[in-house]
Amino acid sequence: MRLIILGPPGAGKGTQADFIVKKYKIPHISTGDILRENIKDETDLGKKAKDYMDKGSLVPDELVIALVQERITREDCKEGFLLDGFPRTTAQAVALDAELRKLGISLDRAINIMVDPELLIERAVGRRVCKTCGATYHVTFNPPEEEGKCDIDHTTLIQRDDDTEETVKNRIQVYTNQTSPLIDYYKAQGLLLNVNGAQEIDAVFNDIVAGLEQ
């Protein structure tokens, strides 16, 4: 299964992606996670991406397109993949289509998680992440068993640098201007699967599976 997951910042893309990749046994490719990894490791890509990400702006298309082109040709993507946070501009979507065509494959669905802007800030600002295993929590909506510690490995949870209220507001604006046109782009291709993201985490996942298996 070859999938992309769309939605505004804090919609729950990463949360749902974790469930989807477990069920369908495909790799989870999050450009945000890959870029944060590069920043941590101080690679050339990380150095180029950092200022954009800290402000909540998009990293230039050519950098992320090259990253994804390389990633989806790896062995573990043979049976499928889930792209989370890519494409994010029309140029990225067109480049992805061209790359898939070259590889002789195509997307099965574009999952669109819909959440009203009022809910997004609270979700993003309350998010806590584990830098050891990547698990995501929320102080209110999905708290860990022990406050501030990862359930899986007990690492102290941290807040993402771009999860301040001001940066989240900018990210939502960037999403509205540059990414939301992709909803129509994939609708026109007959690939769009709209899901109500304003429900409990399990209910959102049930709707995604029902939509994929229709």
Task: Enumerate the active-site residues.
Answer: 13, 88, 127, 160, 171
Q: How many CB atoms lie within 10 A of CB 103?
A: 12
Judge whether 135 and 126 are in contact, CB under 8 Å: no
Q: Which stretch binds ligand AP5 (CB under 6 A): 53-61, 72-80, 183-191, 206-214?
A: 53-61
Interacting positions 168-207 with ligand AP5 (CB under 6 A): 171, 197, 200-201, 204
Q: Considering the rule CB under 5 A, would residue 133 count as an interface residue with Zn ion? A: yes
> Between residues 1 and 48, which has the closer beta carbon with respect to ligand AP5?
48
Judge whether 117 and 172 are in contact, CB under 8 Å: yes
The span from the CA of 121 to the CA of 182, in Å, is 22
Q: How far is the CB of 103 from ligand AP5 (least distance, A)?
A: 19
- Length of the chain in terms of residues written: 214
Q: Considering the rule CB under 5 A, would residue 14 count as an interface residue with Mg ion? A: yes
Tokens representing 117? 């802007």
Q: How far is the CB of 203 from ligand AP5 (least distance, A)?
A: 8
SS3 of residue 5 by DSSP: strand
Residue 141 interaction partner, one of Zn ion, ligand AP5, Mg ion, none, beta carbon < 5-8 Å per kind: ligand AP5
Dihedral angle sign, alpha carbons of residues 123, 128, 129, 135 = negative
Residue 43 interaction partner, one of Mg ion, Zn ion, ligand AP5, none, beta carbon < 5-8 Å per kind: none
Q: Considering the rule CB under 5 A, would residue 156 count as an interface residue with Zn ion? A: no
Beta bridge partners of 81: 2
> Between residues 104 and 143, which has the closer beta carbon with respect to ligand AP5?
143
Cα separation values, 107 from 11, 33, 83, 189, 201, Å = 22, 21, 10, 10, 25
Q: Considering the rule CB under 5 A, would residue 8 count as an interface residue with Mg ion? A: no
Residue 133 interaction partner, one of Zn ion, ligand AP5, Mg ion, none, beta carbon < 5-8 Å per kind: Zn ion
Interacting positions 3-42 with ligand AP5 (CB under 6 A): 7, 9-15, 31-32, 35
Judge whether 28 and 84 are in contact, CB under 8 Å: yes
Instruction: Give me the residues that bind Zn ion (CB under 5 A), please.
Output: 130, 132-133, 135, 150, 152-153, 155
